[in-house]
Amino acid sequence: MLANPDGTTSVNLDTGEGDKFKRRDFKLANLKAVVNKWQTFMMDNGGWNALYMENHDQSRTVTRYASDETPELRITSSKMLATQLALQSGTVFVYQGQELAQVNIPKSWGMDKYKDIESLNHWKEVLEKYPDDIEFQEKTRREYWLKSRDNARTPMQWDGSANAGFCPEGVTPWMDVHEDYREWNVAKQKGDSESPYSYWGKVLALRKSKKDVFVYGDFKMVDMEHPDIFAYARSNVEGNGKALVVANFKNREVDWSVPGAEKKIFSAASVALKNYADGPKGNIEEGVFRMRPFEAFVLMVE
């Protein structure tokens, strides 16, 4: 559950009322509402945001809010998530492994692999209250896999050596290393210009090069009603530098048109960033796009 700027409670993104491990499907509208509230409140009241979606108490965003079903979707959706987060107003926090598109622990891991006391205590209660309800137990374990704090606490994946380079061979880390560490690690991604690691560098470089827009500029959510598209505009205080950040949170194509005044503003824009090599599909002048699965791009007008 996230708190509102005024201290009252806000909507849950994907957790049940009174129980973190109750099922609630993620809806983009809730994330958009929270982001819009914090961005505008902080700007209107001289505040400053801490921008994060992952930390030691949160599971991996690619698994939780996007897709790790295939390597391609994992890469694309991690870049989308980086785009929508890092170009908002505030200080960006990148949690260890987030820049590699690290994902939640494998579904195949049993409860003996979990270390988080929150999850283990909850599981103990489930077994006591529902000892014979195997279906309920499996549904609950699905929620642990999706939301448990252990998902963000596996050892950092530095390279493809023993223990992912986290500790020397022969030393047992406090928690098992994720099974995908030979393919998803720092050493491998640093040498790949198309990797999530390299893309994070591009996003942060754009943010740094246009600080008047992305760091100190104004913020405006665009198309709040669309169920699949997360879009917002940034502009510097003089109004002569503008950016439109667009992200598709769906694992399918979505047709989207730039609404309202933004359509005219960005009709002569150029593409400053994209997570598909061949760029956005559509017509920038008309503001009409066919967004591919987990596609994201940034349009800029100087």
pLDDT one-digit tens code per residue, 245-267: 999 999 999 999 999 899 999 99
Length of the chain: 302
The 10s digit of each residue's pLDDT in 262-286 is 999 999 999 999 999 999 999 999 9
The residue extents of the domains of the chain are 48-199, 213-301
The 10s digit of each residue's pLDDT in 157-216 is 999 999 999 999 999 999 999 999 999 999 999 999 999 999 999 999 999 999 999 999
Q: Give the separation between CA 272 and CA 279, rounded to whole angstroms.
A: 10
Q: What is the pLDDT of residue 194?
A: 97
Burial 213-236 (b: 16+ CB within 10 A, else e): bbbebbbbbbbeebeebbbbbbbb
Do 48-199 and 213-301 come out as alike in CATH topology?
A: no
Q: Which CATH number describes the domain made up of 48-199?
A: 3.20.20.80
| 194 CB neighbour count, 10 Å cutoff | 12
SS3 273: strand
Q: What is the pLDDT of residue 68?
A: 96
Q: Give the separation between CA 143 and CA 2, rounded to whole angstroms.
A: 18
* CATH 2.60.40.1180 applies to domain 213-301: yes
Mean per-residue pLDDT of the chain: 94
Q: Give the separation between CA 277 and CA 202, rounded to whole angstroms.
A: 13
State residue 180 phi and psi, 5-degree precision: -95, 15
Q: How far is CA 239 from CA 105, 218, 242, in A?
A: 45, 9, 7
Q: How far is CA 215 from CA 36, 114, 201, 296, in A?
A: 16, 39, 16, 19
Beta strands in 94-241 (DSSP E): 218-222, 229-235
Q: What is the pLDDT of residue 36?
A: 96
User: Do residues 267 and 290 lie in contact, with contact meaning Cβ atoms separated by under 8 Å?
Assistant: no
Q: Give the separation between CA 103 and CA 87, rounded to whole angstroms.
A: 22
The residue-averaged pLDDT of 133-155 equals 97
How far out from the chain centre does Cα 37 lie? 18
Q: Which of 281, 75, 84, 70 is nearest to 194 (CA)?
A: 75
